[in-house]
Amino acid sequence: MITIKAVETKAELASFIDFPHKLFEGNKNYVPELHIAQRDVLTPGKHPFHNHSEMQLFLAYDGNVIKGRIAAILNNNHNAFKNVTEGFFGFYDLYNDAEVSKKLLDEAEKWLLTKGATKMIGPVNPSTNETAGLLIEGFDSPPVAMMTYNNPYYLDLLTTSGFEKSVDLLAYNLPTNVVNKRSLALKDTLRKRLSERNITIRNINLKDYKNEVEKILSVYNDAWIENTGFIPMTDEEFKYLAKDLKMILDKDFAMVAEHEGKTIGFALAIPDINQTLIKIKRGRLLPTGIFKLLLGKKKINYVRVIALGVNKEHRKAGIEAYFYAEIIQQAINKKLTGGEASWILENNEMMNNGLIKMNATVYKRYRILEKSI
């Protein structure tokens, strides 16, 4: 008999975090999340998401054996920004069992209804500013840094419970050996054109990282504001993410655009740290995981373009094209095999068309689903 229990103790939280390790045991494409990072995201007082929103975790048991997990999430900032009454679910992992899925989703829905939600959206972990989306195409390779992974049957279980497509998120693969060289040839011309408009491109200054983050935050919340599902990050959330990213940043892949000294755009590609994390058993850094992490960083041969945005009034000036050309050039210089650009909304025509022109191809597709409750 399947029973659902709310996570209340530290031991139950540890079980919630560790469940995917058992679920994906033997799956060569599974990348374990770092236990300490997951614990902080899920713990009030540790992650700034909890300063404005709520989350309740649930585990599904068959006797004493865990069969699945889910989080019910009320993002108050999302509802205030969009003027809606929506709820979310995330951290949805389970064996291929319709009963387990239904009971988990029902429990999450019940919790959200008590909070006044009229719709249930997901998966997000715990918001679109962190990992988000259900993988529906591209199961034959591991996810890159800060992207999700799940089994193919998840989609069937969710649609059986009445969830429908909200929007798809695309991941593009661009190997360095197939990139359209025209985009690189235009780099100097683009820089000259931008210079004539008093626009300069530079790498971020890691020695002045705190101030750089402050400048970039204003661009982030302006450049993405029209995107489907976008919710502005709080200062605390952005700085929390920036602090984590600093540990793996390569300044050659982190750039800002400035117009007469004011930051108007930025681009960030991060080394695919998942190439190292995939070797760290159960996401534990101790006793040996920390050494695998430190040594493995030097062998990473792929990057993920995680953010690339420009303020609305400066779009179509060529800044985005220059950012991509410089990232590609640096990847070639460092003898990397290529990179992933993700995630890109399926309805973002400018970004999609630009990537296709560079010979990038969609190789993974993620989906956000929704259901009225």
135 and 260 belong to one structural domain: no
Structure token pair of residue 85: 């009454």
96 and 240 belong to one structural domain: no
CB 370 within 8 A of CB 166: yes
Domain of residue 80, residue span = 2-169
In a domain, 120, yes or no: yes
CATH number assigned to the domain comprising residue 114: 3.40.630.30
Structure token pair of residue 277: 């994390």
Q: Which residues of 262-276 are buried (b: 16+ CB within 10 A; e: fewer)?
A: ebbbbbbbbbbbbbb
In a domain, 314, yes or no: yes
In a domain, 322, yes or no: yes
77 and 39 belong to one structural domain: yes
- Per-residue tens of pLDDT for the chain, all 373 residues: 999 999 999 999 999 999 999 999 999 999 999 999 999 999 999 999 999 999 999 999 999 999 999 999 999 999 999 999 999 999 999 999 999 999 999 999 999 999 999 999 999 999 999 999 999 999 999 999 999 999 999 999 999 999 999 999 999 999 999 998 888 888 989 999 999 999 999 999 999 999 999 999 888 888 777 776 778 899 999 999 999 898 889 999 999 999 998 999 999 999 999 999 998 888 876 556 565 666 667 899 999 999 998 998 898 889 999 999 999 999 999 999 999 999 999 999 988 999 999 999 999 999 999 999 9
Pairing of strands 199-203, 164-175: unpaired
C-alpha of 317 from chain center = 27
Collapsed DSSP state (helix, strand, coil) of residue 100: helix
339 and 323 belong to one structural domain: yes
Looking at residue 288, its pLDDT comes to: 60
183 and 137 belong to one structural domain: no
Residue 74, beta-bridge partner list: 54
Q: What's the CA gap between 300 and 306, in Å, rounded?
A: 16
Last residue of a domain, one of 143, 169, 195: 169
**SS3 sequence, 252-321?**
HHEEEEEECCEEEEEEEEEECCHHHHCCCHHHCCCCCHHHHHHHHHHHCCEEEEEEEEECHHHCCCCHHH
265 and 152 belong to one structural domain: no
CB 274 within 8 A of CB 145: yes
Last residue of a domain, one of 169, 192, 220: 169
In a domain, 207, yes or no: yes
In a domain, 370, yes or no: no
Last residue of a domain, one of 149, 169, 189: 169
* DSSP per-residue letters across 230-260: --PPPHHHHHHHHHHHHTT--GGGEEEEEET
C-alpha of 167 from chain center = 15
Domain count, the chain: 2
Looking at residue 158, its pLDDT comes to: 98
In a domain, 268, yes or no: yes
Looking at residue 287, its pLDDT comes to: 55
